[in-house]
Amino acid sequence: MSALGDRRIDAAVLYVSPPIPAISEFGASRRFRLLPLPEPARDAIVAEYPYYLKTTIPARSYTHVTADVPVVGTSNGLMVSAELPADLVYQITKATFDELERFRGSYPTIAGFTLEVAPKDGLIPYHEGAIRYYRERGVWADGAPAAATR
C-alpha cells in the first residue's frame, strides 16, 4: 500500500478478503477506487479457472466505496498437512462446521461460507478426513479432487 500511497505505482491488485484494515487506513488519508470487473471478464475468468468464483466487494466496505464492486475471488479454506491422521482432520472439519456461526462472528467475509460450498472447486486436494466428513453430510461430489497419495 505504501508504493501506491507514495505514487510509485498507479494501481495494485490485492488478493484479500474485505474489509482489510490496511486498506481502511489507506483510505482514511487518501482517495482510491476499486475497479469493477465487467461481467464478460468475470465469466471468462471463471470459465478458464473454475476455482475462482464471482463475488462482490460490498458497498461501504471502505470509505468512499458507495456501490457494490463485482470481482472474482476464491472460497475460504482450511489447509492441513496431508500427513495428519484422517481421524484428526475429520474432527477439525466437524468442529469447524459445528462452530461455524462463531467463526462468522469473527470475520465478515465468511458470511456466505457454508457446508455446501466448502467442498467445491478446491485449489489443492482434499484430505481424506475432510472427505469423510463431507460424504457423511451428503455434500461431497464424486470426482472432486481427493487427497494426494504419497
pLDDT above 80 for 111: no
Domain boundary among 73, 101, 133: 73
* Residue numbers of the domain that contains 50: 2-73
Cell 471502505 belongs to residue? 62
Are 68 and 124 in a shared domain?
no
Q: For residue 31, what is the domain's CATH number? A: 3.40.190.10
Specify the number of domains making up the chain.
2
Q: How confident is the model at residue 145 (pLDDT cuts 50, 70, 90)?
A: low
Q: What per-residue confidence (pLDDT) applies to 136?
A: 96
Q: Is the pTM of this model over 0.85?
A: no
Q: What is the dihedral of CA 111, 113, 115, 116, to 10 degrees?
A: 120
Tens of pLDDT, residue by residue over 30-89, are 888 899 999 999 999 999 988 888 988 989 888 888 999 999 988 777 889 999 999 999
Residue 135: phi and psi, rounded to 5, are -65, -45
User: Does residue 58 or residue 14 have the better pLDDT?
Assistant: 58
**DSSP tag of 108:** G
Domain boundary among 38, 54, 73: 73
Are 81 and 64 in a shared domain?
no
